[in-house]
Amino acid sequence: MKKLVIIGAGFGGLYTAKQMDHEDFEITLVDKTNHHLFQPLLYQVATAALTSADICTPIRKILCKQENTLVLMSRVTRIDKANREIHLHNHQPLPYDILVVSTGVHHYYFGHNEWEKYAPGLKTLNDALTIRDKLLFNFEKAELCDRYSDAQKYLSFIIVGGGPTGVELAGAVAEIANHTLVENFKKIDPSSAKVYLVEAAPRLLPSMPEKLGVKAKKDLEQLGVEVITGQMVTDITPHGVQVGNRFIKATNTIWAAGTEASTLLKTLDVPLDRVGRVIVEPDLSIPGNPEIFVIGDAAHCKGKDGNPLPAVAPVAMQQATFVARLIKKNLVGKCDKPFSYTDLGTMATIGRSKAVAQIGNLVFTGFLAWCLWSAVHLMHIILFRNRIKVLIDWIHGYITGHRGARVIRNPSEEDFREELSRIK
């Protein structure tokens, strides 16, 4: 039986696997975590609205009825094209006849890896929990300060990157300060927190129609966010961020700007783009090896306008369907038509009843866009049980303004000590 190996259980890898159900293949799906992460809602875990279990579904549970598919939790270290096998951290090499690589991206600091320590990015569950801990802990630290000027330093939040993730984070952080935490503190006023959103491009949401970028800016400003566009971040320190000529003091910075593809792709030994993505053939295979496909965020695949397709779930899912069809129909290496993306639109939420959306030539804003956003995301959450729990949390949050997952994991001695040395 032919061996199909899939690396990564994000939208690309998981949907490829699911579509191979009942097919005459021996399928192995490898992921370094045990869960499929519903990444579009990851910022809601980072901002305490949802819990990790709401958006992380065990891969084995999703595929438990699929008899032809083995799920392995492991880290792939190398792809050996010549011998048609992949090397794993804790397993002997896995041979394949067909390989689908869907390894996604991680944050990229434009060569400034030292920024990561002060400005964590948001790609994995751990990232989200780290950001949540930091965010909530900062309000706690502010409450411990005796002087207003000390407290203020902890009440400044900078989000770098004005794409959908940055916009959604900025809106959520502002809502935490203005609604969720209000009346929860005695010494500080959480709503005095300053939230900054910095984007190097001239406007927010550069990948969406201009009207929506303008609307998002207006909505965010209404929530008290200071939106800074057309300015580059040139330095990030433990004390703040240098934005153009201005140094903004803040101990809490979140990175939502650059991303870079997995370094595993380098072992494919094919041309990569500037951010490490594989420049794929029209059938999504790699040059010279029609049996290896790269899909999702890891692929640089040109759209109708000549620009690379955006790094969003629908692209990965459509590519999964495309590749699964080729494999099922025995069309690998003899593809009949190139992959073509059907753009179903994009959307971003800004806050309660506030969102922007584009579907074809139509644009929506405000409450209608927000309902649309909520419905589309809810629909795509994998388990019915999780859908119900997210819905309850959203309704509860909508009515009360509360967020259900305001948990700081126990800080270590080190966290406290670091603080002590800073305050002194």
Residues 104, 364: Cα–Cα separation, whole Å = 29
Q: Is 1 in the site for a copy of itself (CB under 8 A)?
A: no
Does residue number 344 form part of the binding site for a copy of itself (CB under 8 A)? no
| Closest CB 286 distance from a copy of itself, rounded Å | 26
Phi-psi region of 97 (alpha: psi -120 to 50; beta: other; left: phi over 0): alpha
Show Cβ contacts of residue 287 under 8 Å, excluding neighbours closer than 6 positions. Answer: 270, 271, 279, 281
Element (H, E) at 92: strand 91-95
- Figure out which of the listed residues 137, 157, 364, 370 binds a copy of itself, where binding follows CB under 8 A: 137
Q: Give the H/E segment covering residue 136.
A: helix 125-144
| Contacting range for a copy of itself; rule: CB under 8 A; set: 10-18, 316-324, 363-371, 414-422 | 414-422
- CB of 313: closest distance to a copy of itself in angstroms? 20
What's the rounded Cα separation, in Å, for the pair 154 and 138? 5
Site string for a copy of itself, 200-229 (x = CB under 8 A): ------------------------------
Q: How many residues bind a copy of itself (CB under 8 A)?
A: 63
Interactions with a copy of itself, residue window 138-177 (CB under 8 A): 140-141, 143-144, 146
Q: Which of 19, 21, 23, 33 binds a copy of itself (CB under 8 A)?
A: 33
* 18 vs 32, beta carbon nearer a copy of itself: 32
Cα gap 145→238, rounded to integer Å: 18
Tell me the closest approach of the beta carbon of residue 182 to a copy of itself, in angstroms.
9
Should residue 387 be labelled a site residue for a copy of itself when binding is judged by CB under 8 A? no
In 3-state terms, what secondary structure has residue 203?
A: coil
21, 73, 290, 401: residue in contact with a copy of itself (rule CB under 8 A): 73
What torsion, rounded to 10 degrees, do the Cα atoms 399, 400, 404, 409 define?
Answer: 150
**Distance in angstroms (rounded) separating the CA atoms of residues 353 and 364:** 12
- Comparing CA positions, the residue from 174, 87, 95, 186 lying closest to residue 135 is 174
Find the shortest distance in angstroms from Cβ 181 to a copy of itself.
8
Candidate residues 52, 192, 207, 237; the one interacting with a copy of itself per rule CB under 8 A: 52
Contact call for residues 86 and 41 (beta carbons, < 8 A): no
Give the residue, chosen from 22, 24, 82, 92, that forms a contact with a copy of itself under the rule CB under 8 A: 92
Residues 363-371: contacts with CB under 8 Å, at least 24 apart: 363/209, 363/211, 363/212, 365/212, 365/215
**Is 136 an interacting residue with respect to a copy of itself (CB under 8 A)?**
yes
Residue 333 — left, alpha, or beta (φ > 0 → left; ψ -120 to 50 → alpha)? left
Residue from 90, 245, 307, 330 touching a copy of itself (CB under 8 A): that is 90
Q: CB nearer to a copy of itself: give 125 or 331.
A: 125
Q: Counting contacts by CB under 8 A, is residue 56 touching a copy of itself?
A: yes
Catalytic-role residue among 85, 116, 168, 281: 168
In the complex, least distance from residue 72 CB atom to a copy of itself, rounded to whole angstroms: 6
Q: What are phi and psi of 381, to 5 degrees?
A: -65, 140
Q: What is the three-state SS of 12-33?
A: HHHHHHHHCCCCCEEEEEEECC
Angle at the Cα of 116 (from 165 to 346), degrees rounded to 5? 15
Considering only CA atoms, give the Rg of the chain: 22
Q: Which residues contact 362 (CB under 8 A, 6 or more apart)?
A: none
Per CB under 8 A, the list member of 82, 362, 379, 420 interacting with a copy of itself is 420
* Active-site residue, 168 included: yes
Asked whether position 378 contacts a copy of itself by CB under 8 A, the answer is no
Residue range at the interface with a copy of itself (CB under 8 A); choices 87-95, 212-220, 252-260, 361-369: 87-95
Binding residues (CB under 8 A) for a copy of itself: these are 32-35, 51-54, 56, 58, 60-61, 64-65, 69-75, 89-92, 124-126, 129, 136-137, 140-141, 143-144, 146, 181, 183-187, 385-386, 388-389, 392, 396, 402, 404-411, 413, 416-417, 419-420, 423
Question: What is the set of active-site residues?
Answer: 168
